């Protein structure tokens, strides 16, 4: 799955289509958002991102509670305010047990009752502490890990059910590398001052949580050091981000009994039985070497260290729902990764957790209030305009053979579009939410989703399912379903109704950065390896595949040269899919926009021509600036390049950009044609 947006951990949360906002009075005339915030001291041919967004950025510093600040945050905050109203209404409604309003209202009530949370202390976790303390050997260790896995605490084994990549009609159980608390293996292995500071602070957090929960301080400090040593051993066998991009090398289907031999100390028959997956004949493992290493460490690491690790991870998992001291300690550490200086207020934290537990349930109430059918049709039609532009572009490729072109077109027209919200909602009737225990509600929510995922085993694939909620400011392409999923929130421009947005802005903002981007994911370095039915199957002839890889390598080298901050550069291989999708989206949006009435009439708005507004509309989609800490973290962990490079990088390979903004060989944005990327 590929996502077009990334705002660190804020995947959930967005307002729906701006068409639903309160209609302004007759006297109000909204400013032109594209011309209002230009940085006219910067030439577009020198730094287009700064030219398009610099005016806004200079007037809008990053708030203390955020790691970045931009259009996504504005959309998310607008949405959070609407969700807050829904929650307050549900809390006061005292609705019947089992109704959406009851679950939402009681979740809110329990989470906002800070006095009750403080009074309970660690009591809600006591049964799980007792389970951990009862561990005596590897058998009881793995039994307890499985027990904790069922409530969302799965520190060592990453197991999940999804479509078999080589047979998309069947659900399969996948195993993936896991076990690390820090976001990426490089944090454990790098020796620069920033990484060493993060490691030291992480060790202090473990010590602090263990001590707060009753472990003697000396013992806690010793175990924290051992936990860090254990995780570092696992980090060394983790594959690098760029190595995870090859779907064939990360697909190892084997008999379940073969896994038992591969990792004998994991006691997998018992583990799978606990998750109700014991009848499986086969599994798919992404990185077998990780599970071999984990099996060895299960046996060689002292049981007391494992017990300390499970205790720490349990507390950490629910720290936001425990007394305030735990959440503060967690935030103090994580701000080293994000750069945020202030913790989000309780109501925002509550809503973000509620999104995780029952976001689609919230979505049902949300769309009743804020969805607009006219806007929905606009973006459904825009998908087809982009699809048609891609058809023409494929047909005109000079480097691809006719046989591969025909297969590409078959896949293109098989892509399913999902716009706005699902036709059928998920069933939350088995999710129990109470008004008196925030921790228990999170435990129940985690258990609900674990059951939901594992219940897919042995059942037909549901191709109508959504993996994002309607209010989410994000979108994705799912290669196994060959589908693009476009939640309504992704199209929002905060402060504007949809009908106030001209086509030039929309084709750049939504057509290029989202719709064209997601469709192109079906043909990026990973997505192109799946056929029209969503199967991992090579439909390319060898010569075309080699030509694609040669052209993609130009982009890898281009992005490898971009310096993010300090010594941190973009990883061109790890971000290749997103970079290809960005460039593809821009080209497709431009092709489609040229067919519109606005482009043909060529009337200016705000002193900008339609063509200029198209590129500025795309730039608006990446209006954002970040703390230095979050930039470093993004360079190490994220498949997406930072916002500035998602604009300037692909624009350097768009011929129309050179013409419209008169980019000359002496300009910083200029690339000679031989270094420009020519794929789709």
CATH number (domain holding residue 400): 3.40.390.10
pLDDT reported for residue 279 = 87
Q: Is it the case that residue 418 has pLDDT exceeding 70?
A: yes
Assess whether 360 and 285 both reside in one domain: no
pLDDT band at 16 (very low <50, low <70, confident <90, very high): very low
Q: Which of residues 305, 321, 337 is at a domain's end?
A: 321
Assess whether 515 and 641 both reside in one domain: yes
Assess whether 179 and 283 both reside in one domain: yes
**Gap between the Cα atoms of 109 and 106, Å rounded:** 5
Assess whether 244 and 353 both reside in one domain: no
Cite the DSSP H helix spans in 318-372: 324-338, 346-370
Q: Is residue 79 part of a domain?
A: yes
Q: Is residue 205 part of a domain?
A: yes
Assess whether 362 and 281 both reside in one domain: no
**b vs e for 137-162, b when ≥16 Cβ sit within 10 Å of the residue's Cβ?**
ebebbbbbbbbbbbbbbbbbbbbebb
**Gap between the Cα atoms of 408 and 524, Å rounded:** 12
CB 628 within 8 A of CB 73: no
CATH number, domain with residue 251: 1.10.1380.10
* Predicted model pTM: 0.91
CB 433 within 8 A of CB 106: yes
Question: What would the pLDDT profile of 597-653 be if each residue is shown by its tens digit?
Answer: 999 999 999 999 999 999 999 999 999 999 999 999 999 999 999 999 999 999 999
Q: Is residue 438 part of a domain?
A: no
Assess whether 476 and 393 both reside in one domain: yes
pLDDT reported for residue 115 = 98
Q: Is residue 492 part of a domain?
A: yes
Residue 530, phi then psi, degrees to nearest 5: -105, 145
Q: Is residue 307 part of a domain?
A: yes
Assess whether 292 and 421 both reside in one domain: no
Q: Is it the case that residue 107 has pLDDT exceeding 80?
A: yes
Q: Kind and range of the H or E element at 452? A: helix 438-454
Assess whether 153 and 287 both reside in one domain: yes
Assess whether 506 and 578 both reside in one domain: yes
Question: What would the pLDDT profile of 482-532 be if each residue is shown by its tens digit?
Answer: 999 999 889 989 888 888 999 999 999 999 999 999 999 999 999 999 999
Pick 633 or 4 by higher pLDDT: 633
Q: Is residue 330 part of a domain?
A: no
Q: Write out the residue range of the structural domain in which residue 638 sits.
A: 14-20+35-85+349-426+465-675
pLDDT band at 366 (very low <50, low <70, confident <90, very high): confident
Assess whether 144 and 209 both reside in one domain: yes
pLDDT band at 29 (very low <50, low <70, confident <90, very high): low
Q: Which residues contact 347 (CB under 8 A, 6 or more apart)?
A: 84, 112
Q: Is it the case that residue 331 has pLDDT exceeding 60?
A: yes
Domain count, the chain: 2
């Amino acid at each position: 799955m590929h996502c077009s947006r990334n705002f660190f951990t804020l995947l959930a949360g967005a307002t729906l289509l701006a068409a639903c906002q309160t209609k302004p009075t007759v006297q109000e005339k909204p400013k032109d958002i594209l011309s209002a915030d230009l940085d006219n001291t910067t030439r577009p041919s020198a730094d287009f991102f700064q030219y398009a967004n610099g005016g806004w950025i200079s007037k809008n510093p990053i708030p203390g509670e955020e790691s970045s600040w931009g259009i996504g945050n504005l959309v998310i905050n607008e949405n959070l305010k609407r969700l807050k109203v829904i929650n307050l209404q549900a809390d006061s409604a005292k609705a019947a047990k089992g109704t959406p309003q009851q679950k939402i209202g009681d979740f809110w009530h329990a989470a906002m009752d800070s006095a009750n949370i403080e009074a309970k202390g660690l009591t809600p976790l006591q049964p799980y502490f007792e389970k951990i303390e009862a561990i005596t050997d590897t058998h009881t260790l793995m039994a307890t890990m499985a027990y904790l896995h069922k409530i969302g605490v799965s520190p060592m084994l990453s197991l999940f059910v999804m479509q078999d990549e080589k047979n998309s009609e069947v659900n399969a159980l996948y195993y993936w590398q896991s076990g690390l608390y820090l976001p990426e293996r490089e944090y454990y292995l790098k020796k620069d001052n920033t990484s060493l500071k993060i490691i030291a602070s992480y060790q202090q957090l473990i010590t602090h949580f263990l001590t707060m929960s009753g472990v003697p301080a000396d013992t806690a400090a010793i175990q924290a050091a051992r936990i860090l040593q254990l995780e570092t051993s696992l980090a060394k066998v983790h594959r690098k981000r760029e190595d995870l991009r090859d779907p064939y090398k990360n697909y190892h289907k084997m008999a379940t009994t073969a896994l038992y031999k591969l990792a004998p100390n994991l006691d997998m028959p018992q583990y799978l039985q606990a998750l109700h997956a014991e009848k499986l004949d086969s599994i798919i493992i992404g990185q077998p070497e990780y599970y071999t290493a984990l099996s060895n460490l299960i046996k060689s690491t002292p049981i007391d260290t494992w017990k300390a690790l499970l205790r720490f991870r349990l507390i950490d998992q629910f720290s936001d729902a425990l007394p305030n001291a735990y959440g503060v300690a967690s935030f103090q550490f994580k701000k080293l990764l994000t750069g945020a200086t202030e913790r989000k207020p309780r109501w925002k934290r509550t809503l973000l957790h509620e999104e995780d537990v029952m976001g689609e349930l919230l979505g049902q109430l949300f769309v009743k209030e804020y969805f607009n059918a006219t806007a929905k049709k606009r973006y459904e039609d825009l998908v087809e305009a982009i699809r048609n532009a891609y058809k023409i572009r494929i047909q005109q490729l000079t480097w691809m053979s006719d046989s591969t072109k025909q297969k590409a077109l078959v896949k293109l027209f098989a892509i399913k579009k999902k716009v706005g919200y699902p036709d059928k909602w998920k069933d939350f009737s088995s999710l129990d939410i109470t008004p008196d225990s925030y921790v228990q509600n999170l435990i129940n929510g985690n258990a609900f989703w674990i059951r939901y995922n594992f219940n897919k085993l042995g059942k037909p694939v549901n191709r109508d399912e959504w993996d994002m909620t309607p209010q989410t400011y994000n979108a994705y392409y799912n290669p196994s379903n060959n589908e693009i999923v476009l939640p309504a929130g992704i199209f929002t421009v905060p402060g504007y109704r949809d009908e106030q947005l001209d086509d030039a802005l929309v084709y750049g903002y939504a057509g290029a950065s989202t719709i064209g981007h997601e469709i192109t994911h079906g043909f990026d370095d990973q997505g192109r390896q799946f056929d029209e039915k969503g199967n991992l199957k090579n439909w390319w002839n060898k010569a075309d595949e080699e030509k694609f890889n040669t052209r993609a390598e130009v982009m890898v080298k281009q992005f490898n040269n971009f310096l993010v901050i300090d010594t941190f550069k973009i990883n061109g291989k790890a971000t290749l899919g997103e970079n290809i999708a960005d460039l593809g989206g821009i080209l497709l949006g431009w092709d489609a926009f040229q067919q519109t009435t606005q482009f043909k009439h060529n009337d200016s708005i705000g002193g900008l021509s339609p063509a200029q507004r198209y590129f500025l509309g795309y730039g608006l989609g990446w209006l954002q600036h970040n703390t230095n800490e979050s930039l470093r973290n993004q360079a190490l962990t994220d498949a997406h390049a930072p916002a500035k490079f998602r604009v300037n990088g692909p624009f350097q390979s768009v011929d129309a950009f050179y013409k419209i903004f008169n980019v000359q060989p002496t300009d910083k944005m200029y690339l000679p044609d031989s270094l420009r990327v020519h794929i789709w």
